[in-house]
């Protein structure tokens, strides 16, 4: 097992992949905030949140944001561990970003269903069948939306990483 970790670390260092999680968490934070703003600002401006906002509180919003940030952070770290944004093909980058985005969408939906739907079913405001139906219908939708968001965020991440690579001084450049 130690040999596998050493080989993985050596492979990452030779292809130039990030060896720290700082890059992954920075990109995850950018992607999460960008997604939340892209969804909430138009919804708020159109008045679509006027019925929802009175029933929410700060704790629910913070927990939902942290859950989304954690899921996006883990999947971003996973993508960066398997691709090299500076040299991999666009097809490979798109497939990894889309699949990890779909995974993030489904995991976030499962978290919402478990965290909000199941307690609502137990208390009685929703039936358990309703929660299961919402999860069953929502899973493919979450996967599709997650894949689209993942590809979009992946393209943005590649651009940001390439810009950072160009402006960061390195000892091997002259």
- Over residues 94-113, the pLDDT tens digits come to 999 999 999 999 999 998 88
Beta strands in the chain (DSSP E): none
Overall size of the chain counted in residues: 174
- The rounded distance, in Å, linking the Cα atoms of 25 and 40 is 22
Residue 67 lies in a domain: yes
Average pLDDT over residues 87-98: 90
pLDDT digits (tens, 9 = 90+) for 129-154: 888 888 899 999 999 999 999 999 99
3-state class (DSSP) for residue 112: helix
pLDDT at 119: 79
pLDDT digits (tens, 9 = 90+) for 56-74: 788 888 888 999 999 999 9
DSSP state for residue 21 in the 8-state scheme:
S
The pTM (predicted TM-score) of the whole model is: 0.75
Residue 37 lies in a domain: yes
Give the total number of structural domains in the chain: 1
- The rounded distance, in Å, linking the Cα atoms of 91 and 83 is 11
- The rounded distance, in Å, linking the Cα atoms of 30 and 24 is 10
Domain holding 33, by residue range, is 2-10+19-167
- The rounded distance, in Å, linking the Cα atoms of 10 and 3 is 10
Using pLDDT thresholds of 50, 70 and 90, give the confidence band for residue 128. Answer: confident
Residue 112 lies in a domain: yes
Residue 172 lies in a domain: no
pLDDT digits (tens, 9 = 90+) for 4-60: 444 444 444 444 544 468 888 999 999 999 999 998 889 888 988 878 777 778 888
Mean pLDDT of the chain: 82
- The rounded distance, in Å, linking the Cα atoms of 141 and 138 is 5
Residue 174 lies in a domain: no
Q: Compute and round to an integer the Cα radius of gyration of the chain.
A: 19
- Kindly report which listed range (13-17, 44-48, 155-159, 168-172) carries the lowest average pLDDT score: 13-17
Assess contact for 76 and 28: CB atoms under 8 A: yes
Residue 173 lies in a domain: no
Residue 49 lies in a domain: yes
Residue 52 lies in a domain: yes
């Amino acid at each position: 097992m130690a040999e596998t970790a050493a080989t993985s670390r050596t492979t990452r260092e030779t292809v130039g992949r990030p060896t720290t999680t700082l890059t992954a968490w920075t990109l995850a934070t950018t992607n999460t905030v960008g997604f939340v703003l892209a969804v909430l600002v138009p919804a708020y401006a159109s008045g679509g949140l006027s019925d929802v906002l009175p029933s929410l509180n700060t704790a629910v919003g913070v927990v939902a944001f942290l859950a989304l940030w954690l899921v996006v952070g883990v999947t971003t770290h996973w993508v960066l561990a398997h691709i090299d944004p500076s040299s991999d093909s666009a097809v490979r980058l798109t497939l990894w970003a889309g699949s990890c985005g779909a995974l993030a969408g489904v995991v976030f939906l499962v978290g919402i269903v478990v965290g909000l739907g199941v307690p609502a079913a137990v208390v009685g405001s929703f039936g358990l069948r309703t929660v299961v139906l919402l999860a069953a219908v929502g899973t493919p939708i979450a996967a599709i939306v997650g894949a689209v968001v993942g590809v979009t965020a992946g393209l943005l991440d590649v651009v940001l990483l390439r810009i950072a690579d160009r402006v960061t001084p390195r000892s091997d450049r002259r």
